[in-house]
Amino acid sequence: MDAPVEKDMMTRSSEIPMRVINSAKASEVVNTIKRIKRSYRQIRTENVFKKTLVIIGLVMVILVFGILLTLVVESLPSIKALGLKYLWGKTWDPVQDVYGAFPFLLGTLLTSFLALIISIPFSFAVAVFLGEYYPKGWLSDFLKNTVELIAAVPSVIYGFWGLAVLVPIVRSFESKIGVEPVGVGIFSSSLILAVMIIPYAASLGRSMIQMVPSQLKEGAYSLGATRWEVIRSVIFPYTKSGLFAGVLLSLGRALGETMAVTMVIGNTSIIPKSIFAPGNTMASVIANQFTEADKPIYVSALIELGLVLFLVTVIINVIGKKIISRFTNE
């Protein structure tokens, strides 16, 4: 497509500015011709560059569909062999070739929602503090940076600290309230997770709260509302979809979090009897058992967990992002 353009245009004398021809200096004409040849090279490079960009755009789509496809293909043996009862099956016993994912689904839901319940009041408090009470100043800078730091600490370090410090504390707490003092388990994982996911809902909530138009708040103040009443009856209703999106994104994080949970959840494949019992989440089973899975169906069953995890987090994230973009575009 590029070649004909070039030939066509090389024949045009008018490529050389009239001024140059008039001045009739040979060297200038030569220079100009050189320059024009360069330009044809440039045009070719330009086309290559544009195509490269499109290819990169395409690669992103291919990457995501590739991930999905890989997960589906690799979990097909398990899907075929076990069908839907895979999801309801209550026993996971690879030695007997019994694969029921229910204990892990339950473990994931328990840890994530428990973590969410614990962390939301704190997230929202941070959001309100930074978004409404003290949007500026060194104190809010400090809080903002510290909360961001929570997200920066690697999860393996949370796990290690949890194992070394939190688990013994939980264990003594458990013996005090009279449950079996194992320490590791759903409860410890939820505590660690709760800390880890605070920043997501907090930072999103903060930016949403800062977007509340000041006329709305002033309207309420002018009617004699107190600060808290403005927060409750103006800010919260206005930002509720945004706050909800923040909670969703936090949930997405909690569901997929692997290392910290793997290290403190106890790695047991039986259905947890209480929130203090050890268990496993989908992510932690994969982390714990993938390299030791010795049978194709075992591997495939683990990947199916990954597939479920992938689909759930994709749905949660897409919904969350949609809510955010709708909120910010209004």
Partner 1 sequence: MSNLVKYRIAKSSALKIFTIFLAFVCVVPLIFILLYIIRAGITKINWHFLVNIPKPVGESGGGIANALLGSMIIIGVAALIAIPVGILGGIYLNENKKSRLAYWSRLCVDILQGVPSIVIGIVAYFWLVKPLGGFSALSGSVALAIMMLPIIIRSTEETLKLLPDSLKEAAFALGMPFHRVILKVIVPCGISGILSGVILSVARIAGETAPLLFTAFGNPYISTNITKPMQSLPLLIYNYATSPYNDWLDLAWGASLILLLWVLLLNIITKLTTRRWKVQL
Partner 2 sequence: MESTIIRSKNFNAYFGENHVVKNVNIEIPKNHVIAVMGPSGCGKTTYLRCINRMHELIPGATCNGEMVLNDEDVYSMHPIFVRLKIGMVFQRPNPFPNLSIYDNVIAGYKLNGIKLPKGERDKVVEQSLSRAALWKEVKDSLHKKGTFLSGGQQQRLCIARAIAMEPEVLLLDEPTSALDPISTSSVEDLLHELKTNYTLIIVTHNMQQAARVSDRTAFFYMGELVEYDDTKKMFTNPRDNRTQNYITGRFS
Site for partner 1 in 31-90 (CB under 8 A): 39, 42-43, 45-46, 48-50, 52-54, 56-61, 63-64, 66-67, 70-71, 74
Cβ nearer to partner 1, comparing 86 with 129:
129
Q: Which does 9 bind (CB under 5 to 8 A by kind): partner 2, partner 1, none?
A: partner 2
Cβ nearer to partner 1, comparing 292 with 330:
292
Cβ nearer to partner 1, comparing 92 with 129:
129
- Backbone conformation region of residue 89, classed left if phi is above 0, alpha if psi is from -120 to 50, else beta: beta
Q: Is residue 97 close enough to count as binding partner 2 by CB under 8 A?
A: no
Q: Is residue 158 close enough to count as binding partner 1 by CB under 8 A?
A: yes
CA distances for 123 relative to 6, 14, 166, 196, angstroms: 62, 68, 21, 11
**Separation between Cα atoms, residue 57 and residue 274, nearest integer Å:** 47
Closest approach, Cβ 280 to partner 1, in A, equals 13
- Backbone conformation region of residue 179, classed left if phi is above 0, alpha if psi is from -120 to 50, else beta: beta
Cβ nearer to partner 2, comparing 10 with 311:
10
User: Which amino acid does the sequence have at 36?
Assistant: I
**Separation between Cα atoms, residue 96 and residue 167, nearest integer Å:** 32
List binders of partner 1 among 263-322 (CB under 8 A): 263, 283, 286-287, 290-291, 303, 306, 309-310, 313-314, 316-318, 321
Q: Which residues contact 36 (CB under 8 A, 6 or more apart)?
A: 10, 15, 16
Q: Is residue 19 close enough to count as binding partner 2 by CB under 8 A?
A: yes
Q: Is residue 7 close enough to count as binding partner 2 by CB under 8 A?
A: no
Q: Is residue 21 close enough to count as binding partner 2 by CB under 8 A?
A: no
| Distance, C-alpha 317 to centroid of its chain | 7
Q: Which of 25, 35, 227, 326 binds partner 2 (CB under 8 A)?
A: 35
Cβ nearer to partner 2, comparing 36 with 225:
36
CA distances for 169 relative to 122, 158, 258, angstroms: 21, 15, 22
Q: Is residue 27 close enough to count as binding partner 1 by CB under 8 A?
A: no
List binders of partner 1 among 106-145 (CB under 8 A): 121-122, 125-126, 128-130, 133, 143, 145
Q: Which of 21, 29, 33, 39 binds partner 2 (CB under 8 A)?
A: 39
Q: Which residues contact 212 (CB under 8 A, 6 or more apart)?
A: 234, 235, 238, 239
In Å, the largest CA–CA distance within the chain is 102
Q: Is residue 198 close enough to count as binding partner 1 by CB under 8 A?
A: yes
Closest CA to 288 of 107, 77, 71, 75: 107
- Backbone conformation region of residue 61, classed left if phi is above 0, alpha if psi is from -120 to 50, else beta: alpha
Closest approach, Cβ 49 to partner 1, in A, equals 4
* Listed ranges 22-30, 89-97, 174-182, 194-202: which one lies at the site for partner 1 (CB under 8 A): 194-202
Closest approach, Cβ 269 to partner 1, in A, equals 17
Pair 207, 302: CB distance under 8 Å: no
**Separation between Cα atoms, residue 116 and residue 183, nearest integer Å:** 20
Closest approach, Cβ 61 to partner 2, in A, equals 21
Q: Is residue 14 close enough to count as binding partner 1 by CB under 8 A?
A: no
Q: What is the DSSP string of 160-217?
A: HHIIIIIHHHHHHHHHHHTS-----SHHHHHHHHHHHHHHHHHHHHHHHHHTS-HHHH
Residues that bind partner 2 (CB under 8 A): 5, 9, 12, 14-15, 17-19, 35-36, 38-39, 42-43, 46
